[in-house]
Structure 1
Protein backbone atom coordinates (compact mmCIF):
# COMPACT_ATOMS: atom_id res chain seq x y z
CA UNK A 1 0.00 0.00 0.00
CA UNK A 2 1.47 3.33 -1.04
CA UNK A 3 1.60 6.40 1.19
CA UNK A 4 -1.42 8.45 0.19
CA UNK A 5 -1.29 12.24 0.22
CA UNK A 6 1.88 12.49 2.32
CA UNK A 7 1.74 15.82 4.12
CA UNK A 8 4.02 15.56 7.15
CA UNK A 9 3.53 18.16 9.90
CA UNK A 10 6.08 20.97 10.08
CA UNK A 11 5.23 22.73 13.33
CA UNK A 12 7.38 22.01 15.19
CA UNK A 13 9.92 21.01 12.55
CA UNK A 14 11.73 18.85 15.10
CA UNK A 15 11.07 18.52 18.83
CA UNK A 16 14.17 17.73 20.92
CA UNK A 17 13.49 16.16 24.31
CA UNK A 18 17.12 15.56 25.31
CA UNK A 19 20.53 16.21 23.81
CA UNK A 20 24.14 15.69 24.83
CA UNK A 21 27.34 14.90 22.93
CA UNK A 22 26.32 11.27 22.38
CA UNK A 23 22.53 10.94 22.47
CA UNK A 24 19.56 12.74 20.95
CA UNK A 25 15.99 11.97 22.04
CA UNK A 26 13.11 13.38 20.01
CA UNK A 27 9.33 13.45 20.08
CA UNK A 28 8.14 12.42 16.60
CA UNK A 29 4.75 13.66 15.42
CA UNK A 30 2.19 11.39 13.80
CA UNK A 31 2.32 11.56 10.01
CA UNK A 32 6.10 11.90 9.68
CA UNK A 33 8.24 9.06 8.33
CA UNK A 34 11.22 8.06 10.47
CA UNK A 35 13.43 7.42 7.42
CA UNK A 36 12.98 8.43 3.76
CA UNK A 37 10.53 6.58 1.55
CA UNK A 38 11.52 5.36 -1.91
CA UNK A 39 9.60 8.04 -3.82
CA UNK A 40 10.98 11.57 -4.09
CA UNK A 41 7.83 13.00 -2.51
CA UNK A 42 8.44 10.80 0.53
CA UNK A 43 11.93 12.11 1.24
CA UNK A 44 10.89 14.39 4.09
CA UNK A 45 11.38 12.45 7.32
CA UNK A 46 12.64 12.71 10.87
CA UNK A 47 16.11 11.44 9.94
CA UNK A 48 16.74 14.06 7.25
CA UNK A 49 15.26 16.87 9.31
CA UNK A 50 17.48 16.03 12.25
CA UNK A 51 20.59 15.60 10.09
CA UNK A 52 20.16 19.11 8.67
CA UNK A 53 20.70 20.38 12.20
CA UNK A 54 22.83 17.55 13.61
CA UNK A 55 24.77 15.99 10.69
CA UNK A 56 26.31 13.27 12.90
CA UNK A 57 22.98 11.97 14.18
CA UNK A 58 22.21 8.35 13.28
CA UNK A 59 19.00 6.32 13.39
CA UNK A 60 18.87 3.64 16.10
CA UNK A 61 15.26 2.42 15.80
CA UNK A 62 12.04 3.46 14.08
CA UNK A 63 8.45 4.37 14.76
CA UNK A 64 5.66 3.84 12.22
CA UNK A 65 4.78 6.95 10.24
CA UNK A 66 1.38 7.17 11.96
CA UNK A 67 2.79 6.57 15.46
CA UNK A 68 3.92 9.52 17.53
CA UNK A 69 6.27 9.72 20.48
CA UNK A 70 9.76 9.16 21.80
CA UNK A 71 12.58 8.02 19.56
CA UNK A 72 16.33 8.01 20.17
CA UNK A 73 19.14 8.82 17.73
CA UNK A 74 22.86 8.61 18.39
CA UNK A 75 25.83 10.79 17.50
CA UNK A 76 28.42 8.68 15.71
CA UNK A 77 28.71 5.02 14.80
CA UNK A 78 29.98 3.75 18.17
CA UNK A 79 27.10 5.30 20.13
CA UNK A 80 24.64 4.05 17.52
CA UNK A 81 26.00 0.53 17.93
CA UNK A 82 25.95 0.67 21.73
CA UNK A 83 22.31 1.77 21.93
CA UNK A 84 21.31 -0.51 19.07
CA UNK A 85 22.74 -3.47 20.97
CA UNK A 86 20.47 -2.64 23.91
CA UNK A 87 17.48 -2.83 21.56
CA UNK A 88 18.69 -6.13 20.12
CA UNK A 89 19.16 -7.61 23.61
CA UNK A 90 15.77 -6.26 24.76
CA UNK A 91 17.33 -4.10 27.46
CA UNK A 92 15.37 -1.00 26.41
CA UNK A 93 12.13 -0.33 28.27
CA UNK A 94 9.43 0.99 25.91
CA UNK A 95 5.86 1.88 26.86
CA UNK A 96 3.07 3.03 24.56
CA UNK A 97 -0.43 4.25 25.15
CA UNK A 98 -3.29 3.67 22.75
CA UNK A 99 -7.02 4.25 22.45
CA UNK A 100 -8.74 1.10 21.21
CA UNK A 101 -12.25 0.30 20.03
CA UNK A 102 -14.80 -0.69 22.72
CA UNK A 103 -14.22 -1.76 26.31
CA UNK A 104 -11.74 -4.56 26.89
CA UNK A 105 -13.28 -7.03 29.33
CA UNK A 106 -10.08 -8.11 31.09
CA UNK A 107 -7.85 -5.64 32.93
CA UNK A 108 -4.55 -6.94 31.58
CA UNK A 109 -2.98 -9.68 29.54
CA UNK A 110 -0.30 -10.77 27.10
CA UNK A 111 -0.49 -11.38 23.36
CA UNK A 112 2.07 -13.78 21.90
CA UNK A 113 1.38 -14.18 18.20
CA UNK A 114 4.05 -14.56 15.47
CA UNK A 115 4.01 -11.94 12.74
CA UNK A 116 5.03 -11.83 9.09
CA UNK A 117 4.63 -9.33 6.26
CA UNK A 118 1.38 -9.70 4.33
CA UNK A 119 3.17 -9.27 0.99
CA UNK A 120 0.12 -8.86 -1.30
CA UNK A 121 -1.09 -6.11 1.05
CA UNK A 122 2.20 -4.65 2.27
CA UNK A 123 3.10 -2.81 4.42
CA UNK A 124 0.44 -4.69 6.40
CA UNK A 125 1.56 -7.47 8.71
CA UNK A 126 -0.36 -10.58 9.68
CA UNK A 127 -0.32 -13.45 12.17
CA UNK A 128 1.33 -16.57 10.77
CA UNK A 129 1.96 -19.47 13.15
CA UNK A 130 4.17 -21.34 10.68
CA UNK A 131 6.40 -18.63 9.16
CA UNK A 132 5.96 -15.66 11.47
CA UNK A 133 8.61 -14.28 13.82
CA UNK A 134 7.84 -14.45 17.54
CA UNK A 135 6.16 -11.33 18.90
CA UNK A 136 4.97 -10.60 22.44
CA UNK A 137 3.08 -7.63 23.88
CA UNK A 138 1.96 -7.02 27.46
CA UNK A 139 -1.11 -4.81 27.84
CA UNK A 140 -3.03 -3.20 30.67
CA UNK A 141 -6.26 -1.21 30.64
CA UNK A 142 -5.80 2.25 32.16
CA UNK A 143 -9.41 3.42 31.76
CA UNK A 144 -12.66 2.65 29.98
CA UNK A 145 -14.51 5.59 28.50
CA UNK A 146 -17.62 6.56 26.57
CA UNK A 147 -17.89 9.56 24.27
CA UNK A 148 -20.46 11.16 22.03
CA UNK A 149 -18.77 10.96 18.62
CA UNK A 150 -20.13 13.62 16.26
CA UNK A 151 -18.79 12.05 13.07
CA UNK A 152 -20.30 8.64 13.91
CA UNK A 153 -23.45 10.26 15.37
CA UNK A 154 -23.53 7.97 18.40
CA UNK A 155 -21.87 7.17 21.69
CA UNK A 156 -18.86 4.94 21.32
CA UNK A 157 -17.04 3.00 24.05
CA UNK A 158 -13.24 2.95 23.97
CA UNK A 159 -10.40 1.87 26.23
CA UNK A 160 -7.11 3.53 27.06
CA UNK A 161 -4.45 0.83 27.19
CA UNK A 162 -0.80 0.77 28.15
CA UNK A 163 1.27 -1.42 25.83
CA UNK A 164 4.70 -2.85 26.58
CA UNK A 165 6.23 -4.71 23.63
CA UNK A 166 8.79 -7.38 24.47
CA UNK A 167 9.77 -7.71 20.81
CA UNK A 168 9.85 -4.98 18.18
CA UNK A 169 8.15 -6.37 15.08
CA UNK A 170 6.72 -4.05 12.46
CA UNK A 171 3.14 -3.02 13.33
CA UNK A 172 3.27 -5.37 16.30
CA UNK A 173 1.07 -3.35 18.65
CA UNK A 174 -1.47 -2.60 15.94
CA UNK A 175 -1.87 -6.24 14.87
CA UNK A 176 -1.85 -7.59 18.42
CA UNK A 177 -4.64 -5.25 19.53
CA UNK A 178 -6.57 -6.16 16.39
CA UNK A 179 -6.17 -9.85 17.30
CA UNK A 180 -7.99 -9.13 20.58
CA UNK A 181 -10.88 -7.60 18.64
CA UNK A 182 -9.98 -4.08 19.74
CA UNK A 183 -8.28 -2.22 16.86
CA UNK A 184 -6.55 1.07 17.64
CA UNK A 185 -8.70 4.06 16.78
CA UNK A 186 -7.74 5.95 13.62
CA UNK A 187 -5.69 3.07 12.20
CA UNK A 188 -6.10 3.26 8.41
CA UNK A 189 -4.39 -0.10 7.90
CA UNK A 190 -6.14 -2.32 10.43
CA UNK A 191 -9.20 -0.58 11.92
CA UNK A 192 -12.68 -1.29 10.68
CA UNK A 193 -14.71 1.62 9.29
CA UNK A 194 -16.14 2.84 12.58
CA UNK A 195 -12.86 2.60 14.52
CA UNK A 196 -11.10 4.41 11.70
CA UNK A 197 -13.67 7.21 11.64
CA UNK A 198 -13.52 7.62 15.43
CA UNK A 199 -10.25 9.59 15.32
CA UNK A 200 -8.40 11.62 12.66
CA UNK A 201 -5.06 9.91 13.33
CA UNK A 202 -3.68 6.67 14.75
CA UNK A 203 -4.15 6.82 18.51
CA UNK A 204 -0.80 5.24 19.38
CA UNK A 205 1.96 7.12 21.19
CA UNK A 206 5.39 6.06 22.46
CA UNK A 207 5.10 7.67 25.89
CA UNK A 208 8.04 6.25 27.81
CA UNK A 209 11.58 5.23 26.84
CA UNK A 210 14.41 4.04 29.09
CA UNK A 211 17.92 2.91 28.15
CA UNK A 212 21.51 3.15 29.38
CA UNK A 213 23.70 6.00 28.20
CA UNK A 214 26.20 4.57 25.68
CA UNK A 215 29.19 6.23 27.38
CA UNK A 216 28.36 6.54 31.09
CA UNK A 217 26.06 3.51 31.48
CA UNK A 218 23.70 5.73 33.48
CA UNK A 219 20.02 4.85 33.07
CA UNK A 220 18.14 7.49 31.08
CA UNK A 221 14.37 7.78 31.44
CA UNK A 222 12.12 9.90 29.24
CA UNK A 223 8.37 10.51 29.17
CA UNK A 224 5.98 12.16 26.72
CA UNK A 225 2.24 12.47 27.35
CA UNK A 226 -0.05 11.35 24.53
CA UNK A 227 -1.07 14.27 22.27
CA UNK A 228 -4.54 12.85 21.65
CA UNK A 229 -7.68 13.37 23.74
CA UNK A 230 -8.36 10.67 26.32
Structure 2
Protein backbone atom coordinates (compact mmCIF):
# COMPACT_ATOMS: atom_id res chain seq x y z
CA UNK A 1 0.00 0.00 0.00
CA UNK A 2 1.25 3.46 -0.94
CA UNK A 3 1.40 5.25 2.42
CA UNK A 4 1.76 8.67 0.81
CA UNK A 5 -1.13 8.45 -1.65
CA UNK A 6 -3.22 5.32 -1.11
CA UNK A 7 -5.86 6.14 -3.76
CA UNK A 8 -5.12 5.71 -7.48
CA UNK A 9 -5.64 8.26 -10.23
CA UNK A 10 -9.26 7.95 -11.37
CA UNK A 11 -10.17 9.16 -14.87
CA UNK A 12 -7.09 11.35 -14.84
CA UNK A 13 -7.99 12.90 -11.49
CA UNK A 14 -5.50 12.63 -8.66
CA UNK A 15 -7.02 12.35 -5.18
CA UNK A 16 -6.98 15.37 -2.90
CA UNK A 17 -5.94 15.14 0.73
CA UNK A 18 -6.61 17.02 3.94
CA UNK A 19 -4.73 17.00 7.23
CA UNK A 20 -7.23 17.21 10.09
CA UNK A 21 -6.40 20.25 12.27
CA UNK A 22 -5.59 20.27 15.98
CA UNK A 23 -8.77 22.15 16.84
CA UNK A 24 -10.40 21.39 20.22
CA UNK A 25 -13.89 22.19 18.97
CA UNK A 26 -13.83 18.96 16.97
CA UNK A 27 -12.38 16.67 19.64
CA UNK A 28 -14.85 13.91 20.44
CA UNK A 29 -16.89 14.69 17.34
CA UNK A 30 -17.33 12.67 14.18
CA UNK A 31 -15.36 13.25 11.01
CA UNK A 32 -18.70 13.93 9.30
CA UNK A 33 -19.35 16.82 11.74
CA UNK A 34 -15.95 18.34 10.91
CA UNK A 35 -16.36 17.99 7.14
CA UNK A 36 -19.78 19.66 7.17
CA UNK A 37 -18.32 22.68 8.98
CA UNK A 38 -15.04 22.78 7.03
CA UNK A 39 -16.83 22.46 3.66
CA UNK A 40 -20.13 24.30 4.31
CA UNK A 41 -21.00 24.36 0.59
CA UNK A 42 -21.23 20.53 0.52
CA UNK A 43 -24.52 19.24 1.98
CA UNK A 44 -24.42 16.72 4.86
CA UNK A 45 -26.22 14.07 2.81
CA UNK A 46 -23.61 14.43 0.08
CA UNK A 47 -20.82 13.88 2.62
CA UNK A 48 -22.60 10.82 4.04
CA UNK A 49 -22.85 9.35 0.56
CA UNK A 50 -19.18 10.00 -0.17
CA UNK A 51 -17.98 8.69 3.20
CA UNK A 52 -20.00 5.51 2.89
CA UNK A 53 -18.89 4.88 -0.70
CA UNK A 54 -15.45 3.57 0.28
CA UNK A 55 -13.81 6.32 -1.78
CA UNK A 56 -12.60 8.32 1.23
CA UNK A 57 -9.69 6.70 3.08
CA UNK A 58 -7.22 7.42 5.84
CA UNK A 59 -3.44 7.49 5.40
CA UNK A 60 -3.30 3.71 5.81
CA UNK A 61 -5.69 3.34 2.87
CA UNK A 62 -8.55 2.18 5.13
CA UNK A 63 -12.05 3.29 4.09
CA UNK A 64 -13.74 5.90 6.29
CA UNK A 65 -17.49 6.10 6.93
CA UNK A 66 -19.93 8.59 8.44
CA UNK A 67 -19.33 7.24 11.97
CA UNK A 68 -15.53 7.54 11.88
CA UNK A 69 -14.37 9.78 14.75
CA UNK A 70 -12.41 12.97 14.11
CA UNK A 71 -8.71 12.39 14.77
CA UNK A 72 -6.48 15.48 14.78
CA UNK A 73 -3.36 15.15 12.64
CA UNK A 74 -4.78 12.32 10.51
CA UNK A 75 -4.52 12.70 6.76
CA UNK A 76 -7.58 11.73 4.73
CA UNK A 77 -7.73 11.22 0.97
CA UNK A 78 -10.74 11.81 -1.27
CA UNK A 79 -11.74 12.74 -4.81
CA UNK A 80 -13.14 16.16 -5.59
CA UNK A 81 -16.57 15.91 -7.16
CA UNK A 82 -18.01 18.27 -9.77
CA UNK A 83 -20.88 17.11 -11.95
CA UNK A 84 -20.20 17.18 -15.67
CA UNK A 85 -23.24 19.41 -16.08
CA UNK A 86 -21.74 22.03 -13.76
CA UNK A 87 -18.26 22.01 -15.31
CA UNK A 88 -17.76 24.22 -18.39
CA UNK A 89 -16.60 22.33 -21.47
CA UNK A 90 -13.40 23.76 -22.96
CA UNK A 91 -13.53 22.93 -26.66
CA UNK A 92 -9.91 23.85 -27.43
CA UNK A 93 -7.11 21.29 -27.55
CA UNK A 94 -3.60 21.39 -26.17
CA UNK A 95 -0.64 20.50 -28.37
CA UNK A 96 2.44 18.67 -27.07
CA UNK A 97 5.61 20.33 -28.36
CA UNK A 98 8.21 18.09 -26.72
CA UNK A 99 8.64 15.13 -24.37
CA UNK A 100 12.00 14.02 -22.99
CA UNK A 101 13.21 12.15 -19.92
CA UNK A 102 12.31 15.06 -17.63
CA UNK A 103 9.87 17.50 -19.22
CA UNK A 104 6.63 17.70 -21.14
CA UNK A 105 6.32 20.97 -23.05
CA UNK A 106 2.79 21.92 -24.04
CA UNK A 107 1.21 24.65 -26.16
CA UNK A 108 -1.85 25.40 -24.00
CA UNK A 109 -5.02 26.91 -25.48
CA UNK A 110 -6.86 29.88 -24.03
CA UNK A 111 -9.51 29.22 -21.35
CA UNK A 112 -8.02 25.89 -20.21
CA UNK A 113 -6.90 25.87 -16.53
CA UNK A 114 -3.61 24.12 -15.83
CA UNK A 115 -4.65 22.41 -12.57
CA UNK A 116 -8.01 21.50 -11.03
CA UNK A 117 -9.56 24.33 -9.02
CA UNK A 118 -12.88 26.09 -8.58
CA UNK A 119 -15.34 25.12 -11.33
CA UNK A 120 -12.79 22.97 -13.17
CA UNK A 121 -11.81 19.37 -12.48
CA UNK A 122 -11.78 17.33 -15.70
CA UNK A 123 -11.38 20.27 -18.08
CA UNK A 124 -7.82 21.06 -17.03
CA UNK A 125 -4.49 20.58 -18.75
CA UNK A 126 -3.20 18.30 -16.00
CA UNK A 127 -6.19 15.94 -16.14
CA UNK A 128 -6.10 15.84 -19.93
CA UNK A 129 -2.39 14.99 -20.02
CA UNK A 130 -2.84 12.14 -17.56
CA UNK A 131 -5.41 10.59 -19.91
CA UNK A 132 -3.52 11.01 -23.18
CA UNK A 133 -2.66 7.72 -24.84
CA UNK A 134 0.65 9.08 -26.13
CA UNK A 135 1.86 9.72 -22.56
CA UNK A 136 0.92 6.39 -21.00
CA UNK A 137 4.54 5.21 -21.18
CA UNK A 138 5.22 7.75 -18.41
CA UNK A 139 4.13 7.63 -14.78
CA UNK A 140 1.31 10.09 -15.35
CA UNK A 141 0.79 10.53 -11.61
CA UNK A 142 4.11 12.39 -11.55
CA UNK A 143 3.13 15.03 -14.12
CA UNK A 144 3.33 18.42 -12.40
CA UNK A 145 3.57 21.98 -13.77
CA UNK A 146 6.80 23.71 -12.78
CA UNK A 147 5.58 27.27 -13.33
CA UNK A 148 2.30 29.18 -13.61
CA UNK A 149 0.22 30.03 -16.64
CA UNK A 150 -3.23 31.57 -16.15
CA UNK A 151 -6.18 29.76 -17.66
CA UNK A 152 -6.95 32.86 -19.75
CA UNK A 153 -3.44 32.90 -21.20
CA UNK A 154 -2.41 30.60 -24.04
CA UNK A 155 1.03 29.33 -24.95
CA UNK A 156 4.08 27.43 -23.78
CA UNK A 157 4.12 25.73 -20.39
CA UNK A 158 6.65 23.25 -18.95
CA UNK A 159 5.63 20.28 -16.84
CA UNK A 160 7.86 17.80 -15.04
CA UNK A 161 7.23 14.06 -15.05
CA UNK A 162 10.49 13.08 -13.33
CA UNK A 163 10.53 13.66 -9.55
CA UNK A 164 14.31 13.16 -9.48
CA UNK A 165 15.03 16.25 -11.58
CA UNK A 166 11.94 18.37 -10.86
CA UNK A 167 13.59 20.58 -8.24
CA UNK A 168 16.44 21.69 -10.50
CA UNK A 169 14.00 22.84 -13.19
CA UNK A 170 11.86 24.63 -10.61
CA UNK A 171 15.03 26.33 -9.39
CA UNK A 172 15.56 27.82 -12.85
CA UNK A 173 12.30 29.74 -12.47
CA UNK A 174 12.93 30.66 -8.84
CA UNK A 175 16.34 32.08 -9.70
CA UNK A 176 15.04 33.79 -12.87
CA UNK A 177 17.32 31.78 -15.15
CA UNK A 178 14.52 31.35 -17.67
CA UNK A 179 13.83 33.73 -20.56
CA UNK A 180 10.09 34.09 -21.22
CA UNK A 181 8.63 36.10 -24.08
CA UNK A 182 4.94 36.92 -24.44
CA UNK A 183 2.93 38.46 -27.24
CA UNK A 184 -0.05 40.68 -26.50
CA UNK A 185 -2.65 42.78 -28.28
CA UNK A 186 -3.51 46.12 -26.66
CA UNK A 187 -4.37 49.71 -27.58
CA UNK A 188 -1.72 51.49 -29.59
CA UNK A 189 0.49 54.09 -27.93
CA UNK A 190 3.07 55.72 -30.16
CA UNK A 191 4.01 58.39 -27.64
CA UNK A 192 6.09 55.98 -25.56
CA UNK A 193 9.77 55.27 -26.14
CA UNK A 194 10.23 51.55 -26.79
CA UNK A 195 11.69 49.35 -25.45
CA UNK A 196 9.96 50.51 -22.29
CA UNK A 197 10.77 49.22 -18.81
CA UNK A 198 7.88 49.16 -16.32
CA UNK A 199 8.74 48.73 -12.64
CA UNK A 200 6.21 48.82 -9.79
CA UNK A 201 5.21 47.26 -6.49
CA UNK A 202 2.50 44.64 -6.93
CA UNK A 203 0.49 43.15 -4.07
CA UNK A 204 -2.63 41.06 -3.65
CA UNK A 205 -5.74 42.99 -4.67
CA UNK A 206 -8.87 43.74 -2.68
CA UNK A 207 -10.27 40.53 -4.15
CA UNK A 208 -8.01 37.49 -3.61
CA UNK A 209 -7.86 36.74 -7.34
CA UNK A 210 -6.64 40.22 -8.32
CA UNK A 211 -3.33 42.08 -8.18
CA UNK A 212 -2.93 45.81 -7.62
CA UNK A 213 -0.19 48.43 -7.71
CA UNK A 214 0.81 50.25 -4.50
CA UNK A 215 3.47 52.75 -3.53
CA UNK A 216 6.79 51.36 -2.37
CA UNK A 217 9.94 49.61 -3.52
CA UNK A 218 9.31 47.95 -6.92
CA UNK A 219 9.08 44.16 -6.83
CA UNK A 220 8.06 43.63 -10.46
CA UNK A 221 9.64 44.49 -13.79
CA UNK A 222 8.54 44.06 -17.41
CA UNK A 223 10.18 45.08 -20.69
CA UNK A 224 7.72 46.11 -23.41
CA UNK A 225 8.40 46.43 -27.15
CA UNK A 226 6.10 47.49 -29.95
CA UNK A 227 6.26 44.75 -32.59
CA UNK A 228 3.59 45.80 -35.07
CA UNK A 229 1.33 48.86 -35.31
CA UNK A 230 -2.08 47.60 -36.43
CA UNK A 231 -3.94 50.87 -36.11
CA UNK A 232 -5.95 51.30 -32.92
CA UNK A 233 -4.63 47.95 -31.63
CA UNK A 234 -0.98 46.88 -31.78
CA UNK A 235 1.05 43.74 -31.22
CA UNK A 236 3.48 43.99 -28.31
CA UNK A 237 6.32 41.82 -27.03
CA UNK A 238 6.41 41.52 -23.25
CA UNK A 239 9.41 40.17 -21.35
CA UNK A 240 8.71 39.62 -17.65
CA UNK A 241 11.91 39.99 -15.64
CA UNK A 242 10.03 39.05 -12.47
CA UNK A 243 7.08 36.68 -12.14
CA UNK A 244 4.33 38.27 -10.06
CA UNK A 245 0.73 37.14 -10.47
CA UNK A 246 -0.99 38.96 -13.37
CA UNK A 247 2.12 41.13 -13.73
CA UNK A 248 1.83 41.64 -17.49
CA UNK A 249 -1.86 42.44 -17.36
CA UNK A 250 -1.44 44.98 -14.55
CA UNK A 251 1.63 46.63 -16.08
CA UNK A 252 -0.09 47.07 -19.44
CA UNK A 253 -3.20 48.45 -17.72
CA UNK A 254 -1.04 50.94 -15.79
CA UNK A 255 0.04 52.41 -19.15
CA UNK A 256 -3.54 52.82 -20.29
CA UNK A 257 -3.15 49.79 -22.56
CA UNK A 258 -5.26 47.01 -21.00
CA UNK A 259 -4.99 43.75 -22.91
CA UNK A 260 -7.73 43.03 -25.38
CA UNK A 261 -10.60 40.90 -23.98
CA UNK A 262 -9.28 40.95 -20.38
CA UNK A 263 -12.02 39.65 -18.04
CA UNK A 264 -10.30 41.03 -14.91
CA UNK A 265 -8.57 44.28 -15.75
CA UNK A 266 -9.57 47.06 -15.56
CA UNK A 267 -13.11 45.82 -14.74
CA UNK A 268 -13.90 42.36 -13.33
CA UNK A 269 -16.49 40.52 -15.40
CA UNK A 270 -18.88 37.98 -13.78
CA UNK A 271 -17.72 34.38 -13.54
CA UNK A 272 -19.21 32.23 -16.27
CA UNK A 273 -19.60 35.05 -18.81
CA UNK A 274 -16.53 34.11 -20.83
CA UNK A 275 -16.95 34.38 -24.60
CA UNK A 276 -14.92 31.66 -26.33
CA UNK A 277 -14.87 33.85 -29.43
CA UNK A 278 -13.02 36.57 -27.50
CA UNK A 279 -9.97 35.09 -25.71
CA UNK A 280 -7.56 37.22 -23.72
CA UNK A 281 -5.00 38.46 -26.20
CA UNK A 282 -1.98 37.24 -24.27
CA UNK A 283 0.25 34.43 -25.52
CA UNK A 284 3.27 32.84 -23.83
CA UNK A 285 5.13 32.78 -27.14
CA UNK A 286 8.57 31.45 -26.22
CA UNK A 287 10.60 29.97 -23.37
CA UNK A 288 14.38 29.70 -23.52
CA UNK A 289 16.62 27.95 -20.99
CA UNK A 290 19.96 26.26 -20.51
CA UNK A 291 18.90 22.74 -19.65
CA UNK A 292 20.37 21.91 -16.22
CA UNK A 293 20.60 18.21 -17.10
CA UNK A 294 22.10 18.31 -20.62
CA UNK A 295 23.70 21.75 -20.46
CA UNK A 296 22.29 22.60 -23.90
CA UNK A 297 20.20 25.63 -24.91
CA UNK A 298 16.54 24.73 -25.37
CA UNK A 299 13.98 26.96 -27.03
CA UNK A 300 10.27 26.16 -27.06
CA UNK A 301 7.91 28.30 -29.12
CA UNK A 302 4.14 28.36 -29.34
CA UNK A 303 2.61 27.58 -32.71
CA UNK A 304 -0.28 29.95 -31.94
CA UNK A 305 -0.52 33.59 -33.02
CA UNK A 306 -2.59 36.57 -31.94
1:204 partnered with 2:289: no
Instruction: Determine which structure has greater relative contact order: mean sequence separation of CA pairs < 8 Å that are 6+ residues apart, divided by chain length.
Output: 1
Q: Find the counterpart in structure 2 of residue 224 from structure 1.
A: 302
Instruction: Give the TM-score normalised by structure 2.
Output: 0.62
Give the whole-Å Cα distance in 2 for the aligned partners of 1:227 and 1:191: 24
**CA offset digits 1:33-57 (Å, max 9, x no partner):** 11111x3x31131122212334032
SS at match of 1:160: strand
Give the whole-Å Cα distance in 2 for the aligned partners of 1:203 and 1:129: 28
1:127 partnered with 2:208: no
Of 9, 31, 36, 2:90 maps to 9
Q: How does 1:1-230 map to 2 (within 5 A)?
A: 7-12=88-93, 14-37=94-117, 39=118, 41-43=119-121, 44-53=123-132, 54=135, 55=140, 56-106=142-192, 107-118=194-205, 120-130=206-216, 134-146=219-231, 157-191=232-266, 200-228=278-306
CA 1:158 to 1:126, structure 2 compared with 1: closer, same or farther past 3 Å?
A: same
**How many residue pairs are counted as aligned between the two chains?**
206
The Cα shift of 1:145 comes to 1.3
Give the whole-Å Cα distance in 2 for the aligned partners of 1:170 and 1:78: 28
Give the whole-Å Cα distance in 2 for the aligned partners of 1:8 and 1:209: 28
SS at match of 2:165: helix
SS at match of 1:177: helix
Query: 8 Å contact 1:178–1:184 — kept in the other structure?
Result: yes
Gaps of 5+ in 2: 1-85, 269-273
Gaps of 5+ in 1: 147-156
Query: 8 Å contact 1:104–1:182 — kept in the other structure?
Result: no
Name the structure with the higher strand share: 1
Give the whole-Å Cα distance in 2 for the aligned partners of 1:51 and 1:145: 40
Give the whole-Å Cα distance in 1 for the aligned partners of 2:165 and 2:289: 12
Query: 8 Å contact 1:58–1:77 — kept in the other structure?
Result: no
* Higher alpha-carbon Rg: 2
CA 1:166 to 1:57, structure 2 compared with 1: closer, same or farther past 3 Å?
A: same
